Amino acid sequence: MIGALRTPRGLFTLALLVLLAALPLLTQAFDQRYVLSVGTRIVIWSIAAVSLNMILGYGGLVSFGHAAFFGVGGYAVGILSANGIASGWIQWPVALLASATWAAIIGALSLRTRGLYFIMITLAFAQLVYYVGSGLDAYGGDDGLNIGRSRFNGLINLADKASFYWLCLVLLLATVWFSGRLARSRFGFVLRGARSNEQRMTALGFPVFRYRLAAFVIAGTFGGLAGILLANEGAYVSPAMMAWMKSGDLIVIVVLGGTATLFGPLYGAITFFALEGALKPMLDLVHKGWGEHWQIVFGPLLVMVALYARGGIDSLLGRRHG
């Protein structure tokens, strides 16, 4: 652990974490409250990206429907809140259970397929959730639903921006820690083994399907956690939070940061949102009014990443060890 700090990667990560931890103080000192809300969103998206990385990175299973868990987690909170159950002690466990259950169902069905079919079926199941959400007329339909934030009486006030940010950050660190433990455990090695050679793992007697299903459920549960936080961040849920483009964004974040790496998803999320924030003013500088068309640069940038940047940002920090 101490040794890891001497490497560029360790130092970089440590500096980043210190910066993240101090963000509410900095934004208060410089009176930049908008930056804090962007930071909160980055942290929440990082949780989702870390969870996606568990199956996409370590498992090698390209799930194209991870944003559905934003929706399942978020809507579980939203629906309970709309029915007068405001306590987070009830909302959060129910939302996590709902995400895990949904992950178990679609995982059991999707994992029967391989490759391209897997990409498509996970995408289709996410669309299914999306359309269910937009068909829920009693809960806002396409327009979404304004909700009250979860209440943890006396413990923490989620409406306070700084407290909520720190809560999200702690949950992110817990997720990263769990993901690291998972990757280095026997379970993680089986998962990675199945990624490189499924037949061999099966021949060795490992029930690959069950391992993958377990990983899928774990990833889905953490994805649901991100959904819970996203719903509380804006006090609002809508089908838009689980549109398929969001699943695409999550894949972009994971690949951008570096698949199957511990902090890669976090680097990816920061870069993703920072690019969005930086491209606009940069293009406006070139020509007034070009800033709003930042995606015309961002799109080809993604193509470049896919073509030339194997290993993502994480690989820029030198070779991995351990």
Partner 1 sequence: MEYLLVQILNGVQLGLLMFLLAAGLTLTLGIMDLVNLAHGSLYMMGAYLAWTFIGWTDSFVLGVLLALPATFALGVVLEMVVMRRLYARTHLDHVLATFGLILFFNELVRVIWGPAGKSIAVPPFLANTVEILPGVPYPAYRFALIVAGGVVALLLAWLVARTRMGMLIRAGASNRRMIGALGVNIELLFSLVFGLGAVFAGLAGTIAAPIGSVKIGMGDDILILALVIIVIGGIGSIKGAFVAAMLVGQIDIFGRTYLADLLKLFMGPASASAAAPAISQVLVYVLMAGVLVWRPTGLFGQRS
Site map 287..306 versus partner 1, x via CB under 8 A: ------xxxx-xxxxxx-xx
285 contributes a contact to partner 1 by CB under 8 A? no
Q: CA 60 to CA 144: how far, in whole Å?
A: 34
Nearest to 226, CA basis, from 23, 38, 49: 49
CB of 55 to partner 1, least distance (A): 12
Among 109, 174, 204, 278, binds partner 1 (CB under 8 A): 109
Distance CA 52, CA 272 (A): 16
Token pair 């804006």 in the structure block, residue: 234
Neighbours of 218 (CB within 10 A): 19
Identified binder of partner 1 from the candidate list 17, 132, 235, 282, rule CB under 8 A: 132
- Positive or negative torsion for Cα 40, 181, 13, 307: negative
Q: How far is the CB of 232 from partner 1 (least distance, A)?
A: 26
Minimum gap (Å) between residue 80 Cβ and partner 1 = 21
Q: Is position 286 an interface residue for partner 1 (rule: CB under 8 A)? A: no
Nearest C-alpha neighbor of 76 from the set 102, 37, 39: 102
Alpha-carbon span 84 to 78, nearest angstrom: 10
Task: For the CB of residue 137, give the shortest distance to partner 1 in the complex, in Å.
Answer: 5
Where does this chain touch partner 1 (CB under 8 A) — which range of 7-15, 108-116, 169-177, 189-197? 108-116
Question: What is the phi/psi pair of residue 87, to 5°?
Answer: -70, 125
Sign of the dihedral through C-alpha 161, 164, 170, 175 = negative
CB of 10 to partner 1, least distance (A): 28
Does the protein bind partner 1 through residue 307 (CB under 8 A)?
yes
CB of 235 to partner 1, least distance (A): 24
Q: Within positions 50 to 79, which residues make up the interface with partner 1, using CB under 8 A?
A: 56, 62, 64
> For the CA atoms of the chain, what is the radius of gyration?
20
State which residue, 217 or 252, has the beta carbon closest to partner 1.
252
- Which residues within the stretch 140-199 sit at the binding site for partner 1 (CB under 8 A)? 141
Q: Between vectors from CA 248 to CA 245 and to CA 251, what angle results, nearest 5°?
A: 160
Rounded to 5 degrees, what are φ and ψ at 152? -120, 85
Helix 264-286 × helix 33-53 angle, to 10°? 130
- CA–CA distance from 177 to each of 5, 28, 99, 167, 174 (Å)? 16, 29, 20, 15, 5
Contact region with partner 1 (CB under 8 A), list: 45-53, 118-126, 153-161, 229-237: 118-126
Nearer to partner 1, 185 or 295 (CB): 295
Instruction: Indicate which single residue of 72, 171, 251, 279 sits in contact with partner 1 (rule: CB under 8 A).
Output: 251
Residue 33 makes contact with partner 1 by CB under 8 A: no
* Span from 75-83, 126-134, 183-191, 313-321 in contact with partner 1 (CB under 8 A): 126-134
**Binding to partner 1 by residue 113, rule CB under 8 A?**
yes
Site residues (CB under 8 A) for partner 1?
56, 62, 64, 109, 112-117, 119-121, 123-125, 127-128, 131-132, 134-135, 137-138, 141, 244-245, 248, 251-252, 255, 259, 293-296, 298-303, 305-307
